[in-house]
Structure formats: structure tokens, C-alpha cells
Amino acid sequence: MATSEGQLLDATSAQAAATDVPPQPSRRTGRYTSPAMAAVGGVGLVVAGWGLRSVDMPIRALVALVSIALLWRGLQAMGMRRYGPTFRLGLVASAAWLALVAFLAVFADILPIEHWTKADLTAGAFDLRPGLRWPEVLGRTTNGYSELSHVIYGARTSLTIGIVAVAVGVVIGIVAGLFAGWYGKAVDGTITVATNTILAFPPLILILAIVAVYGSSVRTLALALAAVSIPTYTRLMRAQTLAIRQREYVQAADAMGASNRRLMWREVLPNAVMPVLSYSFIVVAVVIVAEGSLSYLGVGVPSPQPSWGGMIAAGQRKLKTDPHLVFVPAIVMFLTVLALNRFGEWARKRVMGGDRVELL
């Protein structure tokens, strides 16, 4: 009885002592405090920089860089605490940017923007600078065209050329590399000579020759860039085929009497194609840069069809007075190419078995 009463008194004393202890702050409550403060600080500096129009440009640029760094660091920390250490804000931002550019390029005709062929020829419309006006939010070109409209339709042009060129190069290169790696000897020698012959020509000279013969158009430019990308895919597929044909399951199928057709298309191709396709994002980025460079030189997409390189070339004459004519398409192209390279590197690591990086 004495023992039970002692235990009851101890429990009562412990309960009374517990009620006197002040509540401890929850770890989850302060989990996002510091990252959120950094993100809010970045947004605040962005708003403050928008109002500093009377300040010199270097100071405004410095404020913009600091705000972007704070915002990025805060969002990265919040993502890592929410989804774990494998979270990569750069990968998420790249995917979001590519989705946005693709959406605008596909649905450009139904968006509330001017068509790229429509120009405002009224007085004061030329060289209209960016501002809070729709649809002149990015200003107008030297010919009265909407800068926003040309950027969006230029995205359609660049993505079309990039995707078509890579698709053609992938199909031809994979088939040629598969045959070269599987049959070897005369077939391998012939395909190797053909790819080395294409690689012997400087890419720019080869593209200019194709454009000179067939004329300047989006289709011609896409096929010319596809011809330049074929040797890359052929060599990648040939190397994968040579490695996979030595695997045990391929040799076992061969010992069971499987035909060459079945071995190539059912055993080797499905296992060799994914590492080759993982490089497609990077190749699309290279093709977009090549298309922009050719359009800048005047031998790419014919004017007046909008393209990012053509917009940069048209706006360079007024770089000092209207820098937005050059920087807007240049920044959009830079972000698109950067996102494609970042996403392509992630795809390559996932397929090739490198460091595992999770999207979320």
C-alpha cells in the first residue's frame, strides 16, 4: 500500500512539474524561417530595384544580382528542407522554363498577343521601350513589331528547328550506328568512312553549302543541322552496340538460335538507345545556338520571319539607345540553352548511372 501511494505521489509531482515548464518551440515551426526570410529579402530587393530608376545602371545591376542570389539561396534551402538533400532548384527551374517556352511556342496563335506579321506604324510606336503596357510590355522593334510577339514566335522557330534536326539525326544515326556495331567489317567500314567524311567538313561550311543549294528556309536549315548531328549519334550508337552485344543475355539468345534481326531490334536496340537519347537535350541546345548564329549572320531563318538570332542582328544597330532590342532575345536564348543543358545533364546521369538527382 505504501509503495502504491509513493508511486501516486511521484506521478502527481511529475505532472505538476511538467505544467510549469514553458512550451518549447517546435522544430518544424522554425524549419523554414531562415530560408523564407532570404527569399522575402530577395523579392524585396527586386521591388526596390524596380523603383531605383534614377540610380546609375551599375548600382541597379548590383542590386538585381544580390536580390537574385538571396532569392535563389532561400528557395534552394526551403526545397532541401522540404524534399531532402537531393533537391536541386536549378533542375526544377530549368524544367519550369522549358515548359513555359514550349507552351508559349505551341499556343502562340491563341495567346492575347499581336501576330508577328502585324506592325504598328503610328507615330511614336517605333522603338517603344519596355513598360507596363500590353502588349508592348517588352517594347517594339525598329519596324514597329511587338518585341514580345517576336520573342514568342522566335521560340517556335528555334524549337521547331532544334527538335526536327535532332529527330532526324537520332533516327538516321541510331540505325546507322546499330548496323555498324552489329555487322562490323565492310558495313562498319563504309559507315565509318561516311561519318568521317561528314566530320571532315567544317560544320559552318557544310551548312552554308546546303543552304546555298536548296535555299534559305526553316526546313532547309533543320535538315542541314540534322546532317551535322548524324555522325555524333552514329558514333554513340555504334559504341553502345559494341558493348551490349557482348552481354550474357545477347550471347544466350544467339546460342538459342535467335536471328540477327531479333538480336538487333529486340535485344540490343532497347538497351542501347536510352544512353544515346539522353544526349538529345544537349544536342537541341547546340542546334538552337547554331540556328541563332546563322540567323545573326543573315544565312539562317529568312527575314521577316522572327528568330532570336535575327532579332539580335536587327537590334545591334541601336544597342546604345535601345539595348532591350538585343538583350531581350539574347537573355531568352541564354536561359533556354542553359535549361536544356542542365536538364540534359540530369537525364544523362540518370540513364548512365551517375549521381542520382531527384527532381523533387
Grid cell of 239 as nine digits:
559504341
pLDDT of res. 284? 92
Q: What is the pLDDT of residues 13-62, one digit of tens each?
A: 545 444 444 444 444 444 545 555 545 554 554 555 555 555 555 666 67
Q: What are phi and psi of 146, to 5 degrees?
A: -70, 125
Residue 100: pLDDT over 50: yes
Three-state DSSP at 160 gives helix
Q: Report, as an integer, the average pLDDT of 318-343.
A: 86
pLDDT of res. 334? 93
pLDDT of res. 127? 54
Residue 11: pLDDT over 80: no
pLDDT of res. 335? 93
CA distances from 124 to 91, 132, 151 (A): 42, 16, 21
Q: What is the pLDDT of residues 274-316, one digit of tens each?
A: 888 888 888 999 999 998 888 888 888 887 788 888 888 888 8
pLDDT of res. 272? 86
Q: How far apart are CA 183 and CA 188, in angstroms?
A: 7
Q: Are 326 and 319 in contact (CB under 8 A)?
A: yes
Please state, rounded to an integer, the average pLDDT across all residues of the chain.
77
Using alpha carbons, select from 72, 67, 68, 70 the residue that is nearest to residue 90.
Answer: 72
Statement: the pTM of the whole predicted model exceeds 0.75 = yes
Q: What are phi and psi of 145, to 5 degrees?
A: -80, 150
Among 44-53, 187-196, 245-254, 280-289, where is mean pLDDT lowest?
44-53
Which alpha helices (H) appear in 201-279, and where do they start and end?
203-214, 218-244, 248-255, 260-262, 269-277
Going through 93-219 in order, the beta strands assigned E by DSSP cover none
Higher pLDDT, 58 or 224: 224
pLDDT of res. 213? 86
Using alpha carbons, select from 166, 164, 169 the residue that is nearest to residue 218.
Answer: 164
